[in-house]
């Protein structure tokens, strides 16, 4: 599992480092700039795992950092690490987005909307099959309760380990393992049920 992921990172990601923070003449508060560079990725991936398209994920991620910037004065280092804080904002932002969506239309993801979600497929055909599977997985995940979606997104979107998820959710790592296990089980049930439709 781990190895495959490492391969993805090396083989599929065009490495394009952004301008180093030190070289920027940012007018943003220095801490914020640093947080942005450190945590933008996991935040984006978390969001992306829960919303339908990359465009929406970008919008929601932008909203997350806008909100963070505006409420920087409310951040309290004694209560949460910057990452936990940003993820909390992200979770709320996703919830807001889904709530708005719920009023407007479908939560489902169609295949033509997932070009940014890729799998470690070797051939084009395999890739198509896997992308179909991704669609099934994510649509299944959308039917789970919010807590399950969150934990799956932190795990498979942001790529956190149990300890990191535990910190983000303010629960024990043990509880994370249990919840993750349950979430997977429920996801499996949902997918199986869908397969029969």
Partner 1 sequence: MTNKMNDNDDTFDLPPELAELDRQLSAISIEQRCSFGPELLAELERVDREEPPLRKSNARRHLIAAGIGALLLASISQPARASLARLIPWFGDEPEAALASIETPVFPPMPQPELLPEELNGTPDLEVSLDDVIEAPLPLQPTAVGAAGRNDDNQPPTFDRGAARAAILARYPRALMVAGVGGTVDLRFWVTLDGSVDNVQVTRGSGQRALDVAAMSVAQTLRFTAARRNGVPVGSWVDFPVVFEAADGPPLAEPTPIDDVPVPGDLLLPLPADLILGSYLTPPPTLFEAQQLLRSSLGQEAEFGGRWSGQLEALLIAEPPAGELPNSWRREAAVALERAMAEHPFNPAPVLALARIRRSQGMRSEARRLFEAGIDRAELDDDISGNMRAELRYELGMVIQEEWRAFASLGRLPRAALSDAICAAAPGSVESGSFAAVGDLLSLNMACPEELGRALAVGFEELPAELGHSRNDMLRAFQLAIEAQPTHGRANVELLLDLADQRRWGVLLDRSQAFVWETQGNPHGLLMTGLALERLGRVEQAAQRFEVAMKVLEDDEVEALRDISMLLTDDRAELFGSLSASEQEDAVRGFFRTLDPILTTGVNERAIEHIARASYALLRFGSTDVDPARIWIRYGRPNAIRTFGEGGETRTEFWDYGVGPDLTFRRAAASRHMDLTEESATYSADLLVQFPHFYNGPALRQALVLPGQVSRFRVTKGSVELEITTEVPTDLATGGTDELELSIFLLDARGNKLSATRSKVSAIEQTIRVRIMAQPAAKQVVVELYNPTISAAASLREPVPLGADLGGPSISDLFILDPADPGEDDVRRTAAWVQPNIGLVPESGELGVLFELYEMPATEDFALRVFLVGEDGTSQAVEFQPAGETEYRVTWRRSANGAYRISEYITVNLERFPSGSYTLAVRALHSGDIGEIESSRPVRIR
Considering only residues 148 through 187, tell me which ones interact with partner 1, judged by CB under 8 A: 152, 155-164, 173, 177, 180-181, 184-185, 187
> Which member of 79, 111, 126, 128 binds partner 1 (CB under 8 A)?
79
For partner 1, what does the binding mask look like between residues 27 and 46, x meaning CB under 8 A? xxxxx-x--x---xx--xx-
From the CB of 124, what's the least distance to partner 1, in Å? 16
From the CB of 113, what's the least distance to partner 1, in Å? 13
> Which member of 20, 112, 122, 145 binds partner 1 (CB under 8 A)?
145
Residues 116-135 that bind partner 1 (CB under 8 A): 116-120, 130, 133-134
- Token pair, residue 10, equals 């090396």
Round to whole Å and give the CA distance between 113 and 135: 9
Q: Is 139 in the site for partner 1 (CB under 8 A)?
A: no
How many residues lie near partner 1 (CB under 8 A)?
79
What is the SS3 assignment for 84? helix
Round to whole Å and give the CA distance between 39 and 81: 11
Question: What does the CA dihedral 60, 17, 73, 167 come to, rounded to 10 degrees?
Answer: 70
Round to whole Å and give the CA distance between 155 and 5: 13
Contact present, 146 and 179 (Cβ < 8 Å): no
Contact present, 60 and 93 (Cβ < 8 Å): yes
Q: Is 108 in the site for partner 1 (CB under 8 A)?
A: no
Q: Is 18 in the site for partner 1 (CB under 8 A)?
A: yes
Q: Is 54 in the site for partner 1 (CB under 8 A)?
A: yes
């Amino acid at each position: 599992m781990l190895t495959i992921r490492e391969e993805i990172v090396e083989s599929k990601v065009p490495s394009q480092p952004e301008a180093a923070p030190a070289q920027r003449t940012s007018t943003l508060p220095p801490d914020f700039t640093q947080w942005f560079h450190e945590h933008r990725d996991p935040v984006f991936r978390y969001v992306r795992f829960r919303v339908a398209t990359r465009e929406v994920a970008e919008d929601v991620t932008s909203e997350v950092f806008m909100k963070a910037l505006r409420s920087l004065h409310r951040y309290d280092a004694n209560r949460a690490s910057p990452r936990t804080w940003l993820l909390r904002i992200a979770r709320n932002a996703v919830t807001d987005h889904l709530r708005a969506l719920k009023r407007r239309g479908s939560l489902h993801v169609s295949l033509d909307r997932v070009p940014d979600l890729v799998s470690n497929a070797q051939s084009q055909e395999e890739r198509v099959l896997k992308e179909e599977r991704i669609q099934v997985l994510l649509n299944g995940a959308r039917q789970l309760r919010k807590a399950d979606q969150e934990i799956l997104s932190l795990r498979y979107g942001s790529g956190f380990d149990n300890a990191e998820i535990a910190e983000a959710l303010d629960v024990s790592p043990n509880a994370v393992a249990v919840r993750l296990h349950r979430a997977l089980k429920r996801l499996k049930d949902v997918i199986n049920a869908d397969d029969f439709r």
